[in-house]
Structures are given as C-alpha cells and as structure tokens.
Chains A and B, each alone.
Chain A
Amino acid sequence: MALPGTPQADGPLSVLIATTYRKENIMIQTRRKTIQHSAVVAGLLAASGLFPQYALAFNAKAFEAKSVADALKAIGVGAPVESKEVSITGPDIAENGAVVPLGASTTLAGAKQLLLLVEKNPNTLVALFTLTDSVDSNVTTRAKMGQSSDVYAVAIMGDGRALFAKKEVKVTLGGCGG
C-alpha cells in the first residue's frame, strides 16, 4: 500500500519514513479541503447576502461569474448605475493582453469597495479592493484581457449602492495564452 514516489524498501526506518510521508500528505489534503470548503461556504454566504460585504474571505462565486451582473449579484449588490464620479483608467489599445494596466477610482467619499471587471474575460471579475479611511479611493493594477472588451470600474458605497464607469480597451494580442 505504498504511495507512488515513496521508497519501496522494507525495514523499521523506511516504515517510519513512509508513515510520516503519508501523514504529511493527509494533512496537506485536509488543509486544502478546508480552504476550498471555506471558500465555497463564503461564496454561498455572500450570494445569500448574509455575509458582510467587506469581510476578508475569498469570494470564489463572484470570481467565477461570467458577466458583470452575475459578479455583482454574487457580491451582494444590485444593478450598478453609471456615474461620472467613478473612473476607469486604462489604455485605449493594449498591445499585450497579458499585461493591461487598469485603474479604478472614485471621487466620492465613503466608497467601501472598488472592483475591476473585464466583460469578455472567461471570468469577468478581475479584482476586488476593500478600502479603508486610510487610503485614497484609487487603485491601479495590471490585468489579463483575453480580447478587446469593455472594462468596468465599480465603486460600492457604504449603503450598498453600486456605481460604475466603463471604457473600451482594444487588445491586439490576447492575454490568456490563446
């Protein structure tokens, strides 16, 4: 019943090694399962609206959403309203879809979260930033874009309102390896 990769020799020392290896393996498996499980639970709770919006746990369901509306639903906010107070910064044409600098910001006070979404990506939600009073409502990162698409910056306010801005970014070379 030896695991692949473990030494096949018999004797007390190798039995000790095999047992330790197997125990370690089981522990890694358990930890991974626990993380996966809590991600699923967090995702379910977030979807049902019971989870506080800005608690720190990876919202797997939101990141698997295939559209802007689904991602926002998974986070627990309603339909976003376009707003001039939110900005999405990015290039008009990105030469390399694997590295597209994108920024989300808002001039409104009291924004709790900023989201970056790429509409035509296999998974729409790119990043979700939870803000505090100590930072400006302005974040920049680099994202992968599979194809030319609209990019959204969504600001979620303290009262649950979602405001967005969008911009079209053309991509000449896709970013997901295709």
Chain B
Amino acid sequence: MADPMRIRAQAAGGVATVRILMAHEMETGQRKDAAGKTIPAWHITEVGATHNGKTVLSAEWGPAVAKNPFLQFNVKGAKAGDKIVVTWKDNRGDSRSDEATVS
C-alpha cells in the first residue's frame, strides 16, 4: 500500500476546489539505472474521484505525469461536509483510495 494521498477540498460559492497530492514514483520506463538496465515503467494508469458516492471525474494517466502527481479540479454543487473519495490504480495492479471532507 502506497503512502496516503493528501486531499484538500474547499467550498466557495457552490463550487469546491479539490487539490490532491498523490505519492507515487511514476517511472517512465525511459530511465536506466547505474548498471545500464532500463528501469521498467511504473505509473498510475487510472484515477477516479467521487463526490458523495457519485463519480465526478475519471482520468487515465501515462508515465509523463510528474512524480508525486498533483491534480486539481472543481466540483460543482459541493458544500461543506460532503465526501470526496479519490482512487488510483497503477500498472502493477496496486491501488489506493483516500477520502476527504469538503471544508
């Protein structure tokens, strides 16, 4: 299980800005290690975000997303107390899900 994500969701005027920082190496598969062997690609492939159980955003990511990925988006109609759950899956089959409450 990877390190937890940091999720901040702040509501302002009927829209909540959600900022997420995920912990993941995001190896591109282009780098070589000290011995000259290519380090295999290891990156998040799918991301899903739900608001009170309803999917609001989904994403597919390639290896070009930066290490410890950052994601920001706005959820319409969110108010304080609502639950945002963010899930990611990577190409090794690992996954991680964290939730936050809109403040």
Chain A residues close to B by CB (< 8 Å) = 31-32, 35, 54, 56, 58-59, 62-63, 98-101, 103, 118, 121-123, 125-136, 138-145, 175-178
Rounded to whole Å, the gap between the CB of B17 and the closest CB of chain A is 9
B59 touches A128 (CB 8 A): yes
A141 partner residues in chain B, CB cutoff 8 A = 65-66, 69-72
Per-residue CB proximity of B55-74 to A under 8 Å, as 1/0? 11111111111110111111
Complex partner residue of B56 from A62, A63, A125, A132, CB under 8 angstroms: A132
A126 touches B75 (CB 8 A): no
Give the distance in Å from the alpha carbon of A125 to the alpha carbon of B28 in the complex: 13
B57 touches A131 (CB 8 A): yes
Give the distance in Å from the alpha carbon of A142 to the alpha carbon of B60 in the complex: 14
Rounded to whole Å, the gap between the CB of A176 and the closest CB of chain B is 5
Main SS of chain A's interface residues? mixed
Give the distance in Å from the alpha carbon of A129 to the alpha carbon of B48 in the complex: 10
A62 partner residues in chain B, CB cutoff 8 A = 60
**Given A98-B66, A125-B62, A126-B65, 16 new contacts (CB under 8 A):** A32-B92, A56-B48, A58-B46, A63-B60, A99-B67, A122-B30, A129-B57, A139-B72, A142-B70, A144-B28, A144-B65, A145-B64, A176-B28, A176-B31, A177-B31, A177-B32
For B71, the closest partner residue in chain A by CB is: A141
